[in-house]
Amino acid sequence: MGWGITCRYEDEERDGFDQTDIALQSGESYYAPDEDMHKCKRCMLQPCITFVGLGVKKSDYLVKCNCWPPTVFMPFISLAQIIIFAVYAAELAGKGTPVTFESGYPHHSPLIYRPTKRYEAWRFITYMFVHNGWWHILNNLIFQLGIGLTLEMVHKWWRLMIVYLCGVLAGCLLHSVVEHNIALVGASAGAFSLVGAHLAVVITNWKEMRMRCNCECLDQELKVPTGPLRLAVILPLVFYEVGRAIYQHVVAKDSWTIAVGAHLGGIGAGLLLGVPILKNMKRHPWETKLGIVTSVVFGLAVLFGVLFNIFYKGYPETQWD
């Protein structure tokens, strides 16, 4: 195979995942995409096996990655955010207050979260459709599409939709608890819920995220986990965005405020719900128990946020008009 590397399929226990292996050399078994497999998935796997040299077991994370059926939720929600942003941008331009690179959003939109309108419960979700400036929406779109599309190809649209929307809700609730007087716009909480979900996937699929190759030059099999590589990509993004939010919030007083609570709420929701909701290639008993615990923790956190919004007296006076 390519670059003097062959990839051996190891048959361990049958765990219910489809697998095709063919004999290419006497006494050895290799994984190869089945001709009956959808051409989209076959095109994804074949280069990895032939040229990159990934050893793929049926329990490996790569096996479940599939671009058919195509991703649905992330393109849909992103397109909806673009359309609503464009409509409001045109409206603001007509009023002589055009949207700029760093600012501009409809302050009186019924979609945004406002502390004085907390009784309009839909605002705790729909604020994700409104963004403050071109950079705000571009940053969120790049973030959520870059992470969300790859997650959806493995875990499917409905699982990702649950995590994303719960992250949006959790981000707004946490923001309303820590920032009593500040409105909220943007899909940052949803985008960061995908980051948290990815971290949860790495935790629960650590052993399944790996490369196994027979390197002829070393005359031995190499088993290299890819989990650390994923963390090396994701964690710097998390630290940068959260650090930027804290800096903007605490130091840069003259500029618009970044909602730290929304970012942290989104990450927390993704991490807590990613364990029980997203796919686990090979579920262990401790992971099942962990999923129950994280689900309960998330439920209690949401309950606390709702009760806080109902009974806390420090919010601005409610506007009932």
Looking at residue 24, what DSSP letter applies? E
User: What whole-number distance in Å separates Cα of residue 241 and Cα of residue 252?
Assistant: 15
User: What whole-number distance in Å separates Cα of residue 88 and Cα of residue 95?
Assistant: 11
Tell me if 318 sits within 8 A of 116, measured CB to CB: yes
* Cross-strand pairs, 321: none
User: What whole-number distance in Å separates Cα of residue 47 and Cα of residue 96?
Assistant: 53
CA-CA distances (angstroms) from residue 160 to 5, 145, 285, 287? Answer: 35, 12, 23, 19
Catalytically annotated residues: 188, 263
Tell me if 266 sits within 8 A of 191, measured CB to CB: yes
* Cross-strand pairs, 113: 184
